[in-house]
Amino acid sequence: KKIFLTSILYSVCIIAFSQAKVYDGKLIVGTAESELIGKDISDLQLINLKEETIAMNFFKGKYLYVDFWFTGCKPCIAEVPSARELEDKLQDKDIVFVNISFDLSQDKWKESVKKFEITGENLWVGSIEKRDVWTAEYKMTVFPRYWIVNPDGIILHPDAERPSKYLEIEGLLERDIETVSNIR
C-alpha cells in the first residue's frame, strides 16, 4: 500500500513539474497562468475606437502592458488613475499600454473610455462569441487582469501586478519585464 501511494504521488509530481514554468525565481505549477506563458497572441484581432479590426501584431517591436477590464468592475476602474500615472511616468520607455475591454456593448465601452479618461491603446474584444472564446482560451475569469507581452507578441507574464503596485515600487515594471525576458 505504501509503495502504491508513493508511486501515485511520484506520478502526480512528474506530471505537475512537466507543466511547470519559472517566473521570478518562483515555480508556477499547473496554474492557468503557467499555461499562458509563451503563448503567441500576435494574430488576435480586436476592435479599436475607430471601429477598425486590428491584430495584436500591430504593436510588434514593443513591450506591452495589457490591462483586461470592463465597466462594471470597480477594481478595474479604481486602477485607471494609477494606470494613467504609470503610463506618463514610463512614456520614454519602449512600453505600450493596451487596455482590452470585455464590455458587452461597444457603446458602453466607448462611453467608459471617455468618462474615465482611459489612456493608452483602447481595444474591445467584440461580440459575445469572441468574448467567450477569450474567456476560455486565455482563462479570463478574474478582472482586472494584467499581462506583460514581449515585442514578438509572446505572453511573458500572464499575472502581472496592478498599476498601483508598480507605482508603489520604483522600477518594478521594468524589472518584471527584464526578469521575464531573461528566463524565456
Q: What is the pLDDT of residue 56?
A: 95
pLDDT tens digits, one per residue of 16-61: 334 334 434 333 334 456 789 999 999 999 999 999 999 999 999 9
Q: Say yes or no to pLDDT of 120 above 70.
A: yes
Paired with 45 in beta bridges are: 55
Q: How far apart are CA 69 and CA 21, in angstroms?
A: 26
pLDDT in tens, 130-160: 888 888 899 888 899 999 999 999 999 898 9
Phi, psi of 36 (to 5 degrees): -90, -20
pLDDT at 70: 95
**pLDDT higher than threshold 80 for residue 4:** no
Residue 3 burial by CB count (10 A; 0-12/13-18/19+): exposed, middle or buried? Answer: exposed
Number of residues assigned to the chain: 184
Provide the residue ranges of all domains of the chain, joining segments of one domain with +: 1-30, 31-182
Would you tell me how many other CB atoms lie within 10 Å of the CB of residue 97? 20
pLDDT tens-digit series, residues 75-100: 999 999 999 999 998 888 889 999 99
Q: Give the residue-averaged pLDDT of 100-113.
A: 97
* Pairwise pLDDT comparison (101 vs 21), residue with the higher score: 101
The amino acid sitting at 181 is S
Question: Based on the number of CB atoms within 10 Å of its own CB, is 98 exposed (0-12), middle (13-18) or buried (19 or more)?
Answer: buried
Which element (helix H / strand E) includes 166?
Answer: helix 163-168
Has domain 31-182 been given CATH number 3.40.190.10? no
Q: Cα 29 to the chain's mean position, in Å?
A: 18
List, in sequence order, every beta strand (DSSP E) within 92-181: 95-101, 121-124, 145-149, 155-157
Which residues are CB-contacts of 119 (< 8 A; sequence separation ≥ 6)?
A: 83, 84, 87, 97
For the whole prediction, is pTM greater than 0.85? Answer: no
Higher-pLDDT residue of 74, 176: 74
